């Protein structure tokens, strides 16, 4: 997200005024973790049954891929967290890396596998379950017992979100995974599985680089520094966010690049539609995206546009 400033919310009083929904999550965190654990176990049983009864499903390949994804994401969490704690890396950047990796890596891998429609659904469900277990791993009860897990959590624990980082992660990452998983199946059915990565890359390149570019531009005072404007995020109450033209421009260019990467897979009509619609829509939506929920918000509309393009 482009550079933004806002009042910190570190106590219950602030939450009561700003967002009663977040207050509910924070006050009932223990019960919610327990409910999530039960849901994960039930979900695991369901997809295990689907996997066992699926015909012509290469279970060995499925579980090897899950192992590889889990190891990669866990090491990435620890590595970026360690750099935050010991090398002074900015959490605003490492958090973007983590979020993009969580919803890009599993589905990038799957998009390059020769899966049938039925198999792609099962693989997508396993991806969602895998991410759920990793998120349970970094909850506060586990972090208090295992220092390594606390280091993993440091990769996404922004100072301005103290006390809320876990809640934001629990909302944003699973929701993003569900959106990607659902639309990846839809695009496969529509014969456009090759475009599954376009919205992901739009968020990863455009939204992911917006803040670093804006900070870099401001630090060097190019052309007088960043040119800021103020906006309100959807569902963010009265909070006002400061963004920059340079950051928003990065979103536009990054989204355009994500489209051009797949240039050779599009007809002329599809290319024109993508170029004229996706960068503009994603840039505008990024300006007003809900705070810390921008990824699923942008992904959802990005995939809707991608589905529309496949009909041309």
Q: What is the pLDDT of residue 256?
A: 94
- Whether residue 13 is contained in a domain is answered as yes
Q: Are residues 176 and 210 in the same domain?
A: no
Low-confidence ranges of the chain (pLDDT < 50): 1-17
Q: Are residues 229 and 170 in the same domain?
A: no
Kindly report, residue by residue over 174-210, the tens digit of the pLDDT: 788 788 878 888 888 888 888 988 998 898 888 777 7
Q: What is the pLDDT of residue 221?
A: 75
- Whether residue 252 is contained in a domain is answered as yes
* Domain end call among 189, 211, 228: 189
- Whether residue 308 is contained in a domain is answered as yes
Q: Are residues 93 and 220 in the same domain?
A: no
Angle formed at CA 56 by CA 55 and CA 61, multiple of 5 degrees: 125
State how many domains the chain has: 2
CA 300 distance to own-chain centroid: 11
Q: Are residues 19 and 113 in the same domain?
A: yes
- Whether residue 1 is contained in a domain is answered as no
CB 123 within 8 A of CB 115: yes
CA 45 distance to own-chain centroid: 26
Q: Are residues 131 and 168 in the same domain?
A: yes
- Whether residue 200 is contained in a domain is answered as yes
Q: Are residues 117 and 216 in the same domain?
A: no
> What span, in angstroms and rounded, lies between the C-alpha atoms of 259 and 275?
7
Q: Token match 């990467």: residue? A: 261
- Whether residue 44 is contained in a domain is answered as yes
Range of the domain at 257: 192-312
Q: Are residues 156 and 19 in the same domain?
A: yes
Q: What is the pLDDT of residue 23?
A: 65
* Domain end call among 133, 157, 189: 189
Q: Are residues 197 and 130 in the same domain?
A: no
CB 23 within 8 A of CB 232: no
- Whether residue 225 is contained in a domain is answered as yes
Kindly report, residue by residue over 60-72, the tens digit of the pLDDT: 888 888 999 999 9
- Whether residue 227 is contained in a domain is answered as yes
* Domain end call among 153, 169, 189: 189
Q: What is the pLDDT of residue 276?
A: 94
Q: Are residues 117 and 150 in the same domain?
A: yes
Q: Are residues 237 and 171 in the same domain?
A: no
Q: Are residues 157 and 216 in the same domain?
A: no
Q: Are residues 174 and 282 in the same domain?
A: no
């Amino acid at each position: 997200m482009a550079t933004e400033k806002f009042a910190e919310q570190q106590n219950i009083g602030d939450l009561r005024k700003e967002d009663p929904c977040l207050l509910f999550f924070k006050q009932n965190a223990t019960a919610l973790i327990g409910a999530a654990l039960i849901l994960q176990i039930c979900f695991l049983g369901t997809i295990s049954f689907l996997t066992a009864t699926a015909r012509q499903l290469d279970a060995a390949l499925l579980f090897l891929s899950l192992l590889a994804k889990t190891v990669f994401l866990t090491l990435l969490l620890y590595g970026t967290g360690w750099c935050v704690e010991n090398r002074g890396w900015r959490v605003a950047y490492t958090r973007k890396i983590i979020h993009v990796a969580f919803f890009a890596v599993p589905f990038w891998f799957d998009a390059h596998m020769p899966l049938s429609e039925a198999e792609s659904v099962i693989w997508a469900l396993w991806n969602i379950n895998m991410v759920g277990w990793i998120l349970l791993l970094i909850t506060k009860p586990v972090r208090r017992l295992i220092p390594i897990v606390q280091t993993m959590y440091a990769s996404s624990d922004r100072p301005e979100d103290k006390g809320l980082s876990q809640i934001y992660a629990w909302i944003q990452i699973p929701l993003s995974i569900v959106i990607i998983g659902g639309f990846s199946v839809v695009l496969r059915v529509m014969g456009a599985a090759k475009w599954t990565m376009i919205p992901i890359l739009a968020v990863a390149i455009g939204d992911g680089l917006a803040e670093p570019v804006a900070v870099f531009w401001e630090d060097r005072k190019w052309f007088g520094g960043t040119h800021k404007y103020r906006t309100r995020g959807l569902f963010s109450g009265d909070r006002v966010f400061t963004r920059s033209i340079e950051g928003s421009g990065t979103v536009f260019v990054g989204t355009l690049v994500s489209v051009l990467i797949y240039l050779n897979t599009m007809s002329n009509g599809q290319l024109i539609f993508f170029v004229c619609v996706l960068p503009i829509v994603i840039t505008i939506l990024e300006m007003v995206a809900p705070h810390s929920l921008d990824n699923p918000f942008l992904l959802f509309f990005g995939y809707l546009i991608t589905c529309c393009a496949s009909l041309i």
